[in-house]
Every structure is written in structure tokens, then in C-alpha cells.
Amino acid sequence: MRTTLVTDPAVPGANEDAAGVLGDVAVVLDGAGLPRRFRAGCHHSVAWFSHRLTAHLLTGAQDPGTDLTGALARAIAEVRGLHEDECDLEAGSPSAAVVAVRRTGEHLEHLVLCDSSLLLHARNGGVRRLSDLRVDDVAREESSPEGVEERRNATGGFWVARHEPEAAEQALTGRTLLTDLSAVHLVSDGITRTVDLLGMHDDDSLSAALCTAPGELIAGLRAAEETLPEHRRPRKLHDDATVLTLSL
């Protein structure tokens, strides 16, 4: 299995994404770049949270007796323990979307929580994208950022990795035969905006580009973001863009 990691921060030196590989486990976290008022109870940065949660998840998922859901729940609890004595987490704390995979025997296990994605590139050429789109559903239903935030990690809302271990139970999980796959891509939503926001790709062509020239894809992404007309520009014109590819 060959691993390729490419990441490009929206702001140089301030990447809130985090990614890594340890043994048969690969992880990408997309730290939620929320306005400060929505994480006012914690003095730690989004990058501090996403980087530490990545390290704890990679380590915890090495245990073959623990599934990815359990490993994520334990990692969330461990990171919570690093700062709950000095931060008022219930008043607002950093959060992140998660995508993780683990090779186990003849299968590749996966976990997806919130709006990062997993692209499964089959040996027959087809591509299946796994994304947790509940946050998009909530955003369409709510008229204000405050309304969206009230439904974070709440029944009937959407779920992210934050300080509640029970959020892990809300992740999308499954497994795929390794013999059915040629590659998998773990991507932050800074990458999938090439499909969802910019229309540069569909899932099939995005996966193909990530297999062959991820750096060129990100360069094209940045150029396309700059040319977006004002009425189509998102809150963040540029977003951290990270892809971790496993070629099988």
C-alpha cells in the first residue's frame, strides 16, 4: 500500500486540517474554522484540537479489539481530558470532521463523521463517495449561524468530533473488500468543493485527478476560487485542502 499526503492551508502556517498514517490506520481531520464566539469556552486553537485528536485516534485504532467508532470515542475522551480542567467546554469548544480507514484482514474499515469525505475508487473504475451531509441539511433549514450552531451535536441536528465521546456513535461506518479497490482518498471538504462549489469535477474525475496529480488539482482549485463571482463566494473563499491517498 502506497500513501500520498498533500495538504494546502488556506492561510500559510495556519492549517486546521490534520492527517496521518500509523500502521494500517489512516486519518484525516478537518478542524471547524468557526467564529470565535462559538468556541468561547476554550482558549485552545482549532489546530490544537484537530492535531491532538488525530494523534490519539491513530494510536487508539491500533487495537484490533476496538472498532473505529470505539477508537474515536476514546480519542475524544482523551483529548477532552487534556483541557476540561482549564476550559469551560460546555460554553463552546473546538470541533472537527473525521474520516478514518483501517485495513483489517481482507477488508478496509471506514468511519466518516461530518463533511469530510471518503472516495472509494473501485478496480472496475467506479467511484463511491461517502459523506455525512447532515450539516448541509441543517444549514439549509436554519436562517442564521446561531441556529446552525445550536444543532451541533444535538438530536435532529448534525454531529462532529468535539468534547462529547457519544458523537462517535453517529458516524457512518462500514467496510469494503480490499480486492474490490484500487485506491481510496480521505479528503477534507476543501478538496470536495471542486465538485460541490466550483463544478470543476464530478466524483469520478476528482478521484482520477487525486490518483495522478493532486498538487495540480489543488493549484487549479485555488485559481478557481479566486475567480468566483461575489454572489457565489462562501464565507471562506479559501479553505484548508487535504487529501490522503492510499493506493492499493
Give residue 16's pLDDT. 96
Amino acid at site 14: A
Question: In the numeric block, which cell numbers belong to residue 38?
Answer: 462559538
| Residue pLDDT, tens place only, 132-178 | 999 999 999 998 999 999 999 999 999 999 999 999 999 999 999 99
Q: How far apart are CA 68 and CA 28, in angstroms?
A: 13
Global pTM reads: 0.95
Q: How far apart are CA 101 and CA 116, in angstroms?
A: 13
Q: Where are the beta strands (DSSP E) in the chain?
A: 2-8, 17-22, 25-31, 96-104, 107-113, 117-122, 127-131, 172-177, 181-187, 241-247
Q: How far apart are CA 179 and CA 182, in angstroms?
A: 8
**Bridge partners, residue 107, by sequence:** 104, 177
Residue 50 contacts residue 29 (beta carbons within 8 Å): yes
Give residue 35's pLDDT. 83
Q: How far is CA 204 from CA 51, 84, 110, 120, in A?
A: 30, 43, 19, 10
Q: How far apart are CA 149 and CA 231, in angstroms?
A: 23
Give residue 6's pLDDT. 97
Q: How far apart are CA 97 and CA 2, in angstroms?
A: 24
Q: What is the DSSP string of 78-132?
A: HHHHHHTTTS-GGG----EEEEEEEEETTEEEEEEESS-EEEEEETTS-EEEEE-
- Among the residue ranges 10-14, 186-190, 193-197, 204-208, the one predicted with the least confidence is 10-14
Give residue 13's pLDDT. 87
Mean of the pLDDT values across residues 25-41? 92
Question: In the numeric block, which cell numbers belong to residue 241?
Answer: 485542502
Domains in the chain: ranges and CATH: 12-188 (3.60.40.10)
